[in-house]
């Protein structure tokens, strides 16, 4: 998640975007060094703080970093962008000083010894300091890469012209985080100078010299520079900004975690607060009207944080996951040509005959070609692009070529060589292995065009594996990123109308009744043919008549398909590792913590309040417009 405060103080990101257009550009035209040393604003929130000076250099650096792209878009003038940059710089100084005052007064926050109160390093860990140095050196080398002809326009990957596959709603294409050892190795690789200089006459040496010229033209070498990039004003300012980025990041984590640990509900705290929240949810559900209309309305509006915990009606309902193995264009033509005069059973048989030639393919090619989280060795997606654990998730069903990286920190590029084509029976056999670990024997149902009915139990990752399966193969866009799938209602009253096509609705009720009355396993599924293709309907959740889960533990046990879990221990683990990548963000506990702590909104509101409090206080913030008038009037 992109942090608002980090966005305010990031001065040197995405440098390569503007480097070509700014080659040889001078944004200041007088005595360069003296001009960029002019103070454009000062910020001092506390008398004990050093009055921080924002210099013209920082405005120019921010323009080189990200401001130029705003002008290039055609939506802003250079003057407007410089005004925006100055406001960002002032806001960042306000936030940094405010954060320091708060962290310094917080006795629970661990500080670094031997550092002044107003030094950002006092509040950073050793890992933070290493990361700041790594990011600074990487910024310089990224900038040089932009000039290096050997490292541009040499990627070989495919472009993708087919429909882009929907991705999980929480998925972000994040670059894999470097380990501390990898960061240190990167720093060591470039030595004291901090840059890959290259040999005389090489493209790298030429790129390095162009970068030096850009720094010189815009006053970023500084008076201490001799022949080492780490002596430049550019390096020092970037390093300072990176440390402040991390200071804000640490503060945000600290602030939000305090709120998460301080959740209180009905006079209770900690896991007991979550139990009380759930108890109120259950009480509200049992007190609601038992009318079918009210309950079905609640079913349709249920969410991960407001689930159905009690069924007050006398009917049994369920949610089902729908894996649609869609009919091809040719099959759809044949289905459309079927006579309307056929008896239901005869039409069902002909429909099955047509769909028996269904071909199933993995639909995630665009994820690979878009550079999403993909492990070439295992052919598995990673990060937020999967639901199940690494050993359970479904590998990409196709052949892929991986091309070497042009730059070490680049992502790999890929070509899709082929995608496996499954026949329908072959696919169902493979699906059984993925979901249950073994092939399943089919039961027989003759009422409708049912191809397979399977009696199976859920495993501990059942819902996660099914969701991976849906994203890999389902041609029904509505089956993706749902709460628990589609709602199946009891048999209709005479004259009632189904929301779904007849065969789908009827198959869903068969599955629901088999589990409810015939003691089929809670992980059972049914495969039914409709004019759209084959629907593999997995039981998601069964909501028996006039039953529910009276306690949080009962509900969590039901969701996990197990009993005996120490849920308070799970709660503490999530709470203490909330920001980590391996935490299950789809878990009910996680979502309760997030919604009832309201940490993100509270943080955003606090940021806004702090900036509003100080930015127009002339005793704390002073602007020197004469020093930057020439930039504003660009």
Number of domains in the chain: 3
DSSP H helical ranges for 190-232? 203-217
Instruction: Give percent helix, percent strand, percent coil of the chain, each to the nearest 5.
Output: 45, 10, 40
Q: Are residues 408 and 462 both part of a single domain?
A: no
Place of tokens 């850009």: 214
DSSP H helical ranges for 302-392? 329-336, 344-355, 365-369
Which pTM does this prediction carry?
0.79
Rounded to whole angstroms, what are the CA distances from 488 to 53, 323, 451, 502, 505? 65, 15, 19, 12, 7
Place of tokens 């004003």: 233
Q: Are residues 222 and 308 both part of a single domain?
A: no
Give the end of a domain, one of 560, 594, 620: 560
527 lies in some domain: yes
Q: What is the DSSP letter of 531?
A: T
DSSP H helical ranges for 326-478? 329-336, 344-355, 365-369, 424-436, 462-473
Rounded to whole angstroms, what are the CA distances from 452 to 303, 358, 428, 440, 500? 30, 15, 9, 10, 20
Position 10 scores a pLDDT of 40
Domain that holds residue 489: 276-364+421-560
Give the Cα separation of 545 and 540 in Å (integer): 16
Give the Cα separation of 413 and 402 in Å (integer): 6
Give the Cα separation of 593 and 263 in Å (integer): 8
Are 312 and 290 within 8 A, CB to CB?
yes
Are 18 and 74 within 8 A, CB to CB?
no
Q: Are residues 395 and 430 both part of a single domain?
A: no
496 lies in some domain: yes
329 lies in some domain: yes
500 lies in some domain: yes
Position 362 scores a pLDDT of 97
Q: Are residues 441 and 415 both part of a single domain?
A: no
Q: Are residues 252 and 303 both part of a single domain?
A: no
Cα-Cα-Cα-Cα torsion 126, 132, 133, 136, nearest 10 degrees, comes to 180
Position 3 scores a pLDDT of 40
Give the Cα separation of 506 and 491 in Å (integer): 8
Q: Are residues 453 and 339 both part of a single domain?
A: yes
592 lies in some domain: no
Continuous segment of H or E residues that includes residue 261: helix 233-261
Q: Are residues 359 and 372 both part of a single domain?
A: no
Give the end of a domain, one of 404, 420, 436: 420
DSSP H helical ranges for 437-551? 462-473, 502-517
Closest CA to 83 of 95, 71, 99, 97: 71
In terms of Cβ atoms closer than 10 Å to its own Cβ (0-12, 13-18, 19+), residue 130 is middle
Are 582 and 574 within 8 A, CB to CB?
no
583 lies in some domain: no
Name beta bridge partners: 488. Answer: 318
382 SS3 class: coil
Question: How many CB atoms are closer than 10 A to CB 284?
Answer: 12
Give the end of a domain, one of 527, 560, 593: 560
Q: Are residues 409 and 536 both part of a single domain?
A: no
Region label for 437, one of left (φ > 0), alpha (ψ between -120 and 50) or beta (otherwise): left
Q: Are residues 60 and 103 both part of a single domain?
A: yes
pLDDT along the chain (634 residues), means of 10: 38 36 48 81 93 90 83 90 94 94 92 92 95 93 82 51 82 80 92 85 90 85 86 90 93 94 95 97 86 87 92 93 97 92 86 95 94 93 90 96 79 92 97 96 80 92 95 96 93 67 93 93 95 97 93 92 91 92 86 94 95 95 93 80
Give the Cα separation of 257 and 109 in Å (integer): 12
588 lies in some domain: no
Name beta bridge partners: 422. Answer: 360
Give the Cα separation of 579 and 597 in Å (integer): 14
Region label for 176, one of left (φ > 0), alpha (ψ between -120 and 50) or beta (otherwise): beta
Q: Are residues 399 and 430 both part of a single domain?
A: no
215 lies in some domain: yes
Give the Cα separation of 133 and 235 in Å (integer): 10
CA-derived radius of gyration, the chain: 30
Token pair in block for residue 457: 């139990």
Q: What is the DSSP letter of 579?
A: T
Q: Are residues 413 and 440 both part of a single domain?
A: no
Q: Are residues 526 and 401 both part of a single domain?
A: no
Token pair in block for residue 508: 């869903």
């Amino acid at each position: 998640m992109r942090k608002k405060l980090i966005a305010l103080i990031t001065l040197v990101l995405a440098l390569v975007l503007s480097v070509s257009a700014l080659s040889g550009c001078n944004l200041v035209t007088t005595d360069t060094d003296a001009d960029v040393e002019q103070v454009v604003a000062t910020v001092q929130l506390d008398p004990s703080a050093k009055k921080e000076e924002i210099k013209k250099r920082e405005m120019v650096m921010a323009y080189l970093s990200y401001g130029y792209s705003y002008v290039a878009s055609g939506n802003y003038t250079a003057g407007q962008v410089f005004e925006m940059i100055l406001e960002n710089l002032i806001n960042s100084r306000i936030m940094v000083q405010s954060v320091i005052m708060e962290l310094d007064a917080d006795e629970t926050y661990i500080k670094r010894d031997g550092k002044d109160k107003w030094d950002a390093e006092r509040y950073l860990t050793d890992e933070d300091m290493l990361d700041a140095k790594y990011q600074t050196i990487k910024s310089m080398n990224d900038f040089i890469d932009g000039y290096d002809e050997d490292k541009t326009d040499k990627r070989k990957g495919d472009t993708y012209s087919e429909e882009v596959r929907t991705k999980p709603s929480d998925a972000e294409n994040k670059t894999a985080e470097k380990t501390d050892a990898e960061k240190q190795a990167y720093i060591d690789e470039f030595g004291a100078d901090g840059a890959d200089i290259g040999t005389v006459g090489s493209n790298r040496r030429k790129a390095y010299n162009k970068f030096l010229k850009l720094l010189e033209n815009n006053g970023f070498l500084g008076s201490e520079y001799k022949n080492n990039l780490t002596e430049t004003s550019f390096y020092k300012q970037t390093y300072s900004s990176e440390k402040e980025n991390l200071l804000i990041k640490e503060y945000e984590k600290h602030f939000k975690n305090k709120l998460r640990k301080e959740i209180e509900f009905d006079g209770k705290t900690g896991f007991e607060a979550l139990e009380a929240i759930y108890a109120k949810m259950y009480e509200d559900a049992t007190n609601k009207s038992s009318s079918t209309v009210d309950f079905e309305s609640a079913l349709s509006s249920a969410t991960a944080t407001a689930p159905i915990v009690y069924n007050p009606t006398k009917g049994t309902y369920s949610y089902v996951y729908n894996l649609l193995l869609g009919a091809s264009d040719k099959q759809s033509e044949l289905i459309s040509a079927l006579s309307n005069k056929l008896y239901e059973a005869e039409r069902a048989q002909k429909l099955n005959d047509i769909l028996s030639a269904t071909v199933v393919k993995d639909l995630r090619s665009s994820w690979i070609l878009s550079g999403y989280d993909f492990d070439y060795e295992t052919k598995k997606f990673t990060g937020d692009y999967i639901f199940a654990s690494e050993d359970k998730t479904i590998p990409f069903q196709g052949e892929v070529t991986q091309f070497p990286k042009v730059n070490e920190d680049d992502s790999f590029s890929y070509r899709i060589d082929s995608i496996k084509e499954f026949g329908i029976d072959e696919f169902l056999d493979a699906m059984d292995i993925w979901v249950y670990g073994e092939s399943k024997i089919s039961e027989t149902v003759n009422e409708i065009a049912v191809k397979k009915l399977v009696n199976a139990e859920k495993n501990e990752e059942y819902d996660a594996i099914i969701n991976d399966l849906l994203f890999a193969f389902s041609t029904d866009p509505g089956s993706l990123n749902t709460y628990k799938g589609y709602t199946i209602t009891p048999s209709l009253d005479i004259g009632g109308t189904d929301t779904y096509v007849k065969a789908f609705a009827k198959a869903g009720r068969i599955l629901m009744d088999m589990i409810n009355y015939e003691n089929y396993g809670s992980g059972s599924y049914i495969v039914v043919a409709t004019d759209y293709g084959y629907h593999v309907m997995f039981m998601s959740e069964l909501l028996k008549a006039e039953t529910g889960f009276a306690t949080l533990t009962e509900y969590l046990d039901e969701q996990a398909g197990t009993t005996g879990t120490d849920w308070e221990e799970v709660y503490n683990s999530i709470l203490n590792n909330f920001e980590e990548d391996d935490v299950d963000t789809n878990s009910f506990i996680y979502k309760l913590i997030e919604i009832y702590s309201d940490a993100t909104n509270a943080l955003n509101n606090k940021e806004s309040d702090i900036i509003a409090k100080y930015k127009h206080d002339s005793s704390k913030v002073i602007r020197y417009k004469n020093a930057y008038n020439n930039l504003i009037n660009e």
